[in-house]
Structure 1
Amino acid sequence: MHRLRLALLTAVALVLTVALVHATRSVEAEVAPASGPATATVPALEPAVITDGPPLTLRLMTYNLLGSHHTEPGGMHDEMAPSALRSQWGADLVRDQRADVVGMQEVRPEQIAAFQRELPGYDMWPVLANGSLGRPNQIIWNASRFTRLDAGYVEVPSMGETRRMPYVLLKDRSTARTFWYFNIHNSPGDRQAERDRDLVLETAKINELRADGTPVFLGGDFNETSRAMCTVLARTDLESSAGGIHDGTTCKAPSGMRIDWIFGNGTFSAYAATKPPLARYATDHWIVATSVRLD
């Protein structure tokens, strides 16, 4: 009996040691500083990836919140409502769109807390998991419909610094189908070289995520109109929810383009780029949303 108990204790200790080493390596891989543009993936929560099954319909949205510092006294948009009120209105906009997944940009710490408070039925990533380089870009999703299986980020140049653009792998609870949502915010203004580099890195990641057939959706503030669309369509197999085509040689952009885009796989419908009354005082961007069906 003593030998059996000793053997059992030894086996348990060995299992715990292996698990601890694996967990430590996973955490170190996630938080280790990168040298130059890089990607990182957090440990997967579940292994199953299902790329087909019953049809799945989603409502997607991209929303630049306008960072809270912009509406403080002396800020670029100090004529607009303060951040706390704008966060309440932003949550209303998400509910009005009945959005399942939302990519948000220019998110400050107090805005993270506000959206978590205002939208308790939504989960959020990365929150603060990607550090200060990743905090401005967040993804939220309807927690009653989806569970997160995996996540990561791509580092891109931005205004002379580096930002981490997050992506998540979500699983629909009813159909078990999975898809990626990738949220980006590329360099503004005259920083064309950075924007070009951003899209090279981002489209490379999309193709990597698409390798096993899993649908990918790319949304965010591209700070570009037709050039961004043509680049994404030329470099990936994604389609534009706003319309527009690239036949391999010629790119035709849609009318009424915005700098906020949603691309992806599937059949798009009910695309809308709107500025309802709440949005006019909540953000300096248009609210872009679309439905998509995965067959």
Structure 2
Amino acid sequence: MYTGNSSNSCAQPTTTGECGEAFNIASFNILHTGNDAFESKWRERLPKSLKTLKDNQVQVAGLQEVRPEQHNLLVEIEGKASGDIVYDRWPTKTRHPGFSPNIVIWNKNKFTFVSGEQRNLKYDNGEDTDHLIIVKLRDSGGNMFYVASIHDPANVRPGSTALNKQSRIDNANNYKKIFSELSSEKTPLFLTGDFNSDSDGYCILSGGESIQNVYDAVNNINGKCKSKNKVGIDHIYMPKGQAVTATEYKAIQSEKSGKSKNGSDHPTIIATISLTGNCKSSQGDSNNLPGEDNQERAFYYFRTGDRNFSDIGAAGIVGNMIHESGVDPLNVQNNTSSSRKYGERTANPKGITAGWGLIQWTPADPKVFNTYKDSGASGDISSLGAQLHMVWGNMQGKPPITSGKFNPNEYRKITDLNKAMLYFERHIEGAGVKAFSSRLKGANDLIEKFGGKTPTSMGVDEALTVSCNDSSSSSIDQDIGTGEGSFTDTGEVKNLQTILSNAKKVNQEYKGSLEGDGWCLAISARVWMGSNTGSGYNRAIDVWEANKDSIGHPNKKIKKGALVFYKRNHVAIYLGNNKVLNDGFIRNANFLEGKGWNLDYQGWIDPNDMGWKSKQINNASSTRGWSGF
């Protein structure tokens, strides 16, 4: 009764999930236990180190020189901790084999441990140790990433200087290979550590095509070895070209220097990172707004949700954007460029005094960052979604720009396209070069192409939201209603509204006639993916057994849109608010566990983590003839 075989296979994962919110990552040598006056106070120092991290909202960190006693004290402190940040760690062992003084810690309220690995690095006198630690984590949006923690040898022991210098060089070249290896997974790696004694490692790792130091990334410094006199020996490295951005960097000087209370003789290096995953294309804009291109997405955004402007109103806004940036959120004002229509491009506006982004905020730094903060935008500052929200913030005076007199209600009353274009230019753009004819042409083209139409390319329907990690519900969610059960909603899968729409259509088409036919996996896979595509597994139980240790969640704190698994070989789609799609029929979640089918719950999986891709079912009658229907 509860089988669900499906012979077709689905694509393997090729991305790291939906975009995630920014978080702080740190590299911190906390200083080992020892005999001198400062080292011996490690019981006093470690709480200070943890407080420094938490006070600076550090969510993930690579730590070095963590002796077994410090491991144990860390576990004791965090075992009693409460609040927004509580750290877990890996490795967990305090004796060999499996022990390492280099560990990765993460806020277990925000991240889930996926895997851990120890590899060799060269330490004193060229000796191999297994202290290169690589941990894989997953955030609440489904993004997965690696964090490594390393400690290179120092020139402090007699007779080892030449060997240790060569070890640092060998290690740096090995780190480059690891970046290259993991880049094939399209899963970002953040390398943290104490690289010790000289700049050889920094000069090897910086300035390449695939790796950058976060200090250089934040400050738009390109080239090999450029910051060797500024960055010290404690570093964080990140990939280039994997939809990852760093927007802030700071070094909290050591307590031993008398400049902080961080409990160490090393600085605490902290960077703010955004994982954008599927949220950005290679051009840096959001694919989660409906539309074929940025012009259509922006036009649709201003017609819907709280904006609710007419076609003329939306065209007046986006027509100005077409002239200013080509609706390219990475555009930098560059009047001297002859090779690009709209100048140069960058994902990081820090230090830019020219215009940048959709409406060419000028000077980009600090105006862009102030607008991002005051408007309440979230996600990557270089994404289309975040910047559209920033423009909408400016239009509401959050913060006011140019004239400071843009009035959304007044603007909604305008029925003439030229007047709409002029109103936006006067109160928001304030352009030095007016070029009204160019702005009006862009607005007219938008009306001709998109006026009165709904985008045919529908990603996540973000009519009411712009941040791709926003978990607010739409009217589709509300239509399904609230059920009965014991699940607690903690977010949603990517493209949830598409999945909910598919579920409603199938429920209406079949009215429960498929329930109990033994095709639960086939039906769940096809409804979730919106096509006659199988799951890649023969039975529901096979899906859970193959994935439970890596991406499975054996609890009831669940994402809307996840697959829920039960013993006796059953799977359903969790729709949120304790409603499920069971064999194509919408029911209360407790039906499966209570007086209905009386099944034992096992856990849930976000299908995005298995590489499933969802799309809309336009006509539910087209599903007749699909496997399982």
Same structural fold, with TM-score higher than 0.5 when normalized by the shorter chain: yes
1:1-295 equivalences under 5 Å are: 50-69=15-34, 72=35, 75=36, 78-79=37-38, 82-120=41-79, 121-128=86-93, 131=96, 134-160=99-125, 161-163=127-129, 164-173=131-140, 175-189=141-155, 190=161, 191-224=164-197, 226-233=199-206, 237-243=210-216, 245=221, 247=223, 250-253=224-227, 256-265=230-239, 266-275=244-253, 279=260, 282-295=263-276
> What is the root-mean-square deviation in Å for CA atoms of aligned residues?
2.5
The Cα of 1:152 is off from its aligned counterpart by 0.8
Partner amino acid, structure 2, of 1:169: K
Cα deviations by residue, 1:19-62 (Å, 9 ceiling, x for unpaired): xxxxxxxxxxxxxxxxxxxxxxxxxxxx9785241243120011
Quote the Cα distance in structure 2 between the aligned partners of 1:242 and 1:48.
31
- 1:228/1:141 CA distance change after superposition, 3 Å: same
- What's the TM-score, normalizing by structure 1? 0.73
- Does the 8 Å contact 2:33/2:40 carry over to 1? no
Query: What fraction of aligned residue pairs are identical, expressed as a percent?
Result: 24
Mapped to 2, the partners of 1:236 and 1:124 lie a distance apart of 31
Any conservation in 2 of the 1:80–1:282 contact (CA below 8 Å)?
Answer: no
Tell which deviates more after alignment, 129-138 or 88-97. 129-138
Question: Structure 2: how far apart are the matches of 1:141 and 1:155?
Answer: 23
Contact persistence 1:50–1:178 (CA under 8 A): no
In 2, distance between residues paired with 1:251 and 1:212?
28
Query: Against the structure 1 CA distance between its residues 236 and 81, is the aligned structure 2 distance closer, same or farther, given a 3 Å change threshold?
Result: farther
2:32 counterpart letter in structure 1? G
Partners of 1:89 and 1:192 in 2: how far apart? 32
Distance in structure 1 (CA, Å) of the matches to 2:209 and 2:58: 25
CA contact (8 A) 1:89 1:279 kept: no
Unaligned runs of 5+ in 1: 1-46
Q: Distance in 2 between matches of 1:195 and 1:114?
A: 30
Judge conservation of contact 1:125–1:139 (CA < 8 Å) in 2: yes
- C-alpha change, 1:61 and 1:49, in structure 2 (3 Å) is farther
TM-score, normalized by length of structure 2?
0.36
Which has the greater radius of gyration?
2
Structure 2 gaps of 5+ residues are: 1-11, 80-85, 156-160, 277-629
Tell me which protein shows more strand as a share of its residues. Answer: 1
Q: Is the 8 A contact 2:146 2:187 kept in 1?
A: yes
Change (3 A) 1:192 1:89: same
Cα distance between partner residues in 2 of 1:165 and 1:195: 13
Distance in 2, Cα, partners of 1:203 & 1:130: 29
Equivalents in 1 of 2:14, 2:89: separation in Å? 20
Tell me the distance in 2 between the aligned counterparts of 1:258 and 1:100: 23
Give the letter aligned to residue 218 of structure 1. Answer: L
Structure 2 counterpart of 1:154, which letter? R
Q: Secondary structure of 1:139's partner?
A: strand
Greater relative contact order (CA < 8 Å, ≥ 6 in sequence)? 1
How many residues align? The count is 240
Contact 1:203 / 1:236 at 8 angstroms: preserved in 2? no
